[in-house]
Amino acid sequence: MSVFMTEYDVCIEACKDCIVTCELCISDMLVKKSVNDCPACCRQCAAVCGLCIRAMAGNWTHMGSICRLCADVCVWCANNCKDVDSETCQQCAAASERCAAECREIARWE
């Protein structure tokens, strides 16, 4: 939990969880042949989630746009990871879906 509370805490936590599961998925997929965009989508998803966290923490002017982008990238990641027969990828897909939903909620506020 963060040391300060904001109205964005739930989304920030979802982004953090998504980053962690994406990194785990990337590590797991390093030794496997991918049939789709996994793990490339995970790399991009983790990067955009980090940007989204910074935007929310700093209450950036274009935070809503960044959250919308994050939701789109998370959906792309979730759709790719769902198709991979790996528990790590399935966990990544679930975390990405949660993150997308939370980011969409923040984007609606703007």
In the chain (110 residues long), the average pLDDT of successive 10-residue segments reads 70 98 95 86 98 95 97 98 94 98 92
Report yes or no on 2 lying in a domain.
Answer: no
* CATH for 60: 1.20.1270.360
The domain in which residue 60 lies consists of 9-109
What pLDDT, on a 0 to 100 scale, did the predictor assign at position 5? 58
What pLDDT, on a 0 to 100 scale, did the predictor assign at position 2? 45
What pLDDT, on a 0 to 100 scale, did the predictor assign at position 4? 53
Burial 74-109 (b: 16+ CB within 10 A, else e): bbbbbbbbbebeeebbebbbbbbbbbbebbbebbee
Calculate Rg over the CA atoms of the chain.
13
How many structural domains are present in the chain?
1
What pLDDT, on a 0 to 100 scale, did the predictor assign at position 1? 43
Decide: 38 and 86 in contact? Cβ < 8 Å: no
